[in-house]
Every structure is written in C-alpha cells, then in structure tokens.
C-alpha cells in the first residue's frame, strides 16, 4: 500500500510540473547558492550554481526508496567551479546554500558528486551553518568562514561518484544544527583535477511524517505538500 501511495505521489507531481528534487520527502524548495566560482555560466544557465540545487539531472524513481534517486553525468546539470589546484588540494574553494528562511528542524543533506569527469568531484570538506553571516558571501570572490556568524558542524569526506545515473554519494546528518538559514561548505580537496571542483546535486530535507503524503493526496492538498516547517517570522 505504501509503495502505491508514493508512486501515485510521483505521478501527480510529474503532471504538476514539479522538479524531481521536490519529490524527495521533506525537500526544502527554492534553495539558492553562492560560490568561489560561478561554474560554466551565470544562473540559471547550463553548468551554473542553480543547476546543482534545482533537481536538474536528478531522477527520483520512487520517493520512498532513496536508492532510486539517481543523477546523470551531463555537465549542464551540475556545478563545477574553476581554479588552480595541485595534488588534489583546492585552496579557496567554497560554497554557501541559502535555504530561504531559518529552519529549526533540519534533517539531512543529500549529496551527488560530479559524474561528468570523476576527478573533479569534491572530496574533503568542512560544513558550517549560520542564521546571518557577518560578511555576505559573493560569487566569484574569496570568502572565509572565520569572518563571523558561522559555526562548524564537522569535517567530512564525500566518496567519488561511480558514474552516470547512480544514487547519491553522501548523506549528511544535519540534526545537530539548532537552527540555520545558511549552510556553508569549505571545500579542501577534490579527486585529482587541477582546475575543477564541484557537485552534481545537493538536496536539503526536514523531517516528514510518514503519513503526510497519503493524507494530503487524499485531501487534494498538493500545494500544502510543498510547504516545510519553518520558524515563525
């Protein structure tokens, strides 16, 4: 019965023209980003930052089965920032996601590494969070998470992608964050590229009650499904 429900939800969202990323249970919509380099084009062009956040290239086969959430290897559907790197180290590489509002119930960050040229994928990185950074990050500029307002969540390693149309490569627990609007990545290394580092897709989620999908579908509450719990303004 549960499988029928999630499959029906996927079909209805497809008919409504909702992005694949929005099919992920609890997905936060409308996320935007800044980074040390814009990628191949300015937003919303091919290979831009927005393509890493809007579900481009993502296929959610079954919303209830994360192993079916795959991403393609088209450069147009991911973000790869340019720099001058040596020995896998990526000094000066950073990315900041703006979730749109402060969330008090962040759950997970789902990560798909670069699939076009695998050595360009992000490897080691630190995650920071903030309500309101002291210094506003600006794309194509240097940035330091020591500039004020940021707290460190932890240091991590994202596995290298295994290729085209494969599931997510990393799943990061965000429940240790008391509240945040901004999530920052200090990218320290890639898998060997001397001039590119990036990601194919990032999706942020909040907890979703198991029965919410069924109840809203029964009530015709498609619009309500897309709203996420946020701190009252």
In the block, which residue shows the tokens 């814009």? Answer: 38
Residue 10 included in any domain: no
Structure tokens at 158: 């994202």
Structure tokens at 111: 């990560």
Domain count, the chain: 1
Structure tokens at 197: 């580092």
Residue 220 included in any domain: no
Residue 80 included in any domain: yes
Given the DSSP bridges, would you call strands 89-103 and 180-189 parallel, antiparallel or unpaired? antiparallel
Measure the CA–CA gap between 131 and 157, rounded to whole angstroms.
25
Residue 172 included in any domain: yes
Residue 95 included in any domain: yes
Residue 223 included in any domain: no
> In this structure, is the dihedral angle defined by the CA atoms of residues 150, 91, 157 and 108, taken in order, positive or negative?
positive
Residue 81 contacts residue 44 (beta carbons within 8 Å) = no
Measure the CA–CA gap between 139 and 147, rounded to whole angstroms.
16
Residue 222 included in any domain: no
Residue 227 included in any domain: no
What letters, b where the CB count within 10 A reaches 16 and e where it falls short, cover 190-200?
bbebeebbbbb
Residue of higher predicted confidence among 208 and 126: 126
Q: What is the mean pLDDT of the chain?
A: 88
Q: DSSP code of 88?
A: T
pLDDT in tens, 95-108: 999 999 999 999 99
Task: Tell me how far apart the terminal alpha carbons of the chain are, to the nearest angstrom.
Answer: 38
Domain span including residue 169: 30-61+71-207
pLDDT in tens, 78-98: 999 999 999 999 999 999 999
pLDDT in tens, 132-185: 999 999 999 999 999 999 999 999 999 999 999 999 999 999 999 999 999 999
- Return the CATH number at 46: 2.60.120.260
């Amino acid at each position: 019965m549960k499988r029928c429900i999630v499959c029906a939800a996927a079909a209805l969202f497809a008919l409504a023209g909702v992005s694949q990323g929005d099919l992920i249970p609890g997905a936060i919509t409308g996320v935007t980003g800044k980074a040390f380099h814009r990628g191949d084009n300015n937003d919303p062009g091919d290979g831009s930052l927005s393509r890493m956040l809007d579900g481009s290239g993502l296929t959610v086969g079954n919303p209830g089965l994360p192993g079916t959430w795959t991403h393609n290897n088209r450069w147009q559907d991911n973000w790869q920032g340019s720099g001058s790197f040596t020995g896998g180290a990526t000094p000066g590489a950073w990315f900041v996601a703006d979730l749109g509002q402060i969330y008090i119930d962040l759950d997970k960050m789902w990560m798909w590494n670069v699939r076009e040229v695998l050595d360009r994928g992000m490897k080691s990185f630190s995650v920071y969070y903030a309500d309101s950074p002291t210094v506003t990050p600006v794309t194509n500029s240097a940035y330091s998470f020591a500039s004020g307002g940021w707290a460190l969540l932890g240091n991590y390693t994202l596995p290298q992608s295994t290729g085209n149309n494969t599931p997510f490569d990393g799943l990061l627990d965000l429940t240790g964050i008391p509240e945040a609007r901004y999530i920052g990545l200090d990218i320290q290394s890639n898998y060997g590229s001397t001039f590119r580092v990036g990601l194919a897709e990032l999706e942020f989620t909040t907890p979703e009650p198991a029965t919410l999908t069924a109840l809203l579908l029964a009530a015709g509450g498609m619009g309500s499904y897309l709203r996420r719990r946020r701190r009252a303004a």
